[in-house]
Structure 1
Amino acid sequence: MTRPLLTRRAALGAGAVTLFAPAIVRAGTQDIPMAEQQAIVAPQERANISSFREIDWRDHFDNLDKVTLIADTVSKALHYWAVDGADYRLYPTSVPRSPELTKTGYTEIVRKKVGPSWTPTASMIEHDPSLHPMPPGPDNPLGTRAMYLSWPAYIIHGTHDTRKIGRKSSSGCIGLFNQQVEELYELCPIGTQVKLL
């Protein structure tokens, strides 16, 4: 009894057929209008919330004797701890479009404002000359609440444009949904310790 030998040429041929089979099958549909062809659907990506990483305040602060915020620009999340850790909350955020647009490190909340007005910085106007100061209202980029940090022009604020949350979309600030910044605003007194990383 003789056994067929698997030659290198046969193996390469079998591999090519396997590799190009989807294209060959698809080629048979070239005369069918695209609207009538079966859709090729990419696998669904996981929602942004699954990308949040765990942050422990102990890795960044010596104690929790003040309300504490850590803004994680990598996973686009703001972590909140009440004094002594009695309450912990996590909020999705927008973050700066690029690392050079924001500072990282330690700061604190020095001022708070309900219904903030907005004034673009000189660098924003240089980038987009159509920008102009805006009073409080539905078109204001700072949303309904603003908490100003000790660094000039850096703010934790709301946004009316909910598409920005979960994205690199700001000019340096940390943005939250208006409903969530309103909740956080009530929880964070002036002097709240903050770290941006």
Structure 2
Amino acid sequence: MRIYPTSVPKGDELTRRGYSEIVYKDDAPDLVPTPSMRERDPSLPVYVAPGPENPLGVRAMHLTWQYYRIHGTGDTRKIGRKSSSGCIGLYNEDIIEVFDRTPIGTQVKLI
């Protein structure tokens, strides 16, 4: 077992708890902000291409819950804080390790 520091959702209304699973692994994630993210912050871009400016970092694993991801981040200030819109963020070097050893279908429990 390994423990990784993460970011967590900003509030309880954004927090999902329970079981999900990895359904897709993206080694160059792009970002399309969700409708609720754009409602909370209309200044968000409609699309962010993969690369250093992408808030999803260098890897992302999609969960069965729509819009929820376990992903990296280049903004290390977010780790250890309530800073996400629902996703679980890890340091880029940690998401690479988790991504490489986690197969599609892996069960995820968020508590």
Quickly name the TM-score band, shorter chain normalised.
Answer: over 0.9
Structure number with the higher helix fraction is 1
**Runs of 4+ off more than 3 Å:** none
Query: Taking every aligned residue pair, what percent have the same amino acid on both sides?
Result: 63
1:130, distance to aligned residue in structure 2 (A): 1.2
Structure 2 residue aligned with 1:165, among 75, 79, 93?
79
Q: Deviation per CA, 1:55-76, whole angstroms, max 9, x where unpaired?
A: xxxxxxxxxxxxxxxxxxxxxx
In structure 2, what is the equivalent of residue 130 of structure 1? Answer: 43
Structure number with the higher strand fraction is 2
Cα distance in 1, alignment partners of residues 31 and 51 from structure 2? 10
Structure 2 residue aligned with 1:103, among 16, 24, 34?
16
1:102, distance to aligned residue in structure 2 (A): 2.1
In structure 2, what is the equivalent of residue 185 of structure 1? Answer: 99
Aligned positions of 1:26-105 closer than 5 A: 88-105=1-18
- Alignment-mate amino acid for residue 85 of structure 2: S
Cα distance in 2, alignment partners of residues 100 and 161 from structure 1? 23
DSSP-derived class of the 2:25 partner: strand
TM-score (normalised: structure 2): 0.97
TM-score (normalised: structure 1): 0.55
In structure 2, what is the equivalent of residue 152 of structure 1? Answer: 66
Higher relative contact order (CA 8 A, sep 6+): 2
Aligned length in residues? 110
- Alignment-mate amino acid for residue 103 of structure 1: R
Gaps of 5+ in 1: 1-87
Gaps of 5+ in 2: none
1:140, distance to aligned residue in structure 2 (A): 0.5
Cα distance in 1, alignment partners of residues 37 and 88 from structure 2? 16
Q: Deviation per CA, 1:14-37, whole angstroms, max 9, x where unpaired?
A: xxxxxxxxxxxxxxxxxxxxxxxx
Q: Deviation per CA, 1:96-120, whole angstroms, max 9, x where unpaired?
A: 0101102110110000001100000
* Aligned-residue CA RMSD (Å): 0.6
Cα distance in 1, alignment partners of residues 60 and 35 from structure 2? 20
Cα distance in 2, alignment partners of residues 112 and 145 from structure 1? 8
1:193, distance to aligned residue in structure 2 (A): 0.6
Cα distance in 1, alignment partners of residues 12 and 30 from structure 2? 25
In structure 2, what is the equivalent of residue 175 of structure 1? Answer: 89
Point out the structure with max Rg over C-alpha: 1
DSSP-derived class of the 1:195 partner: strand
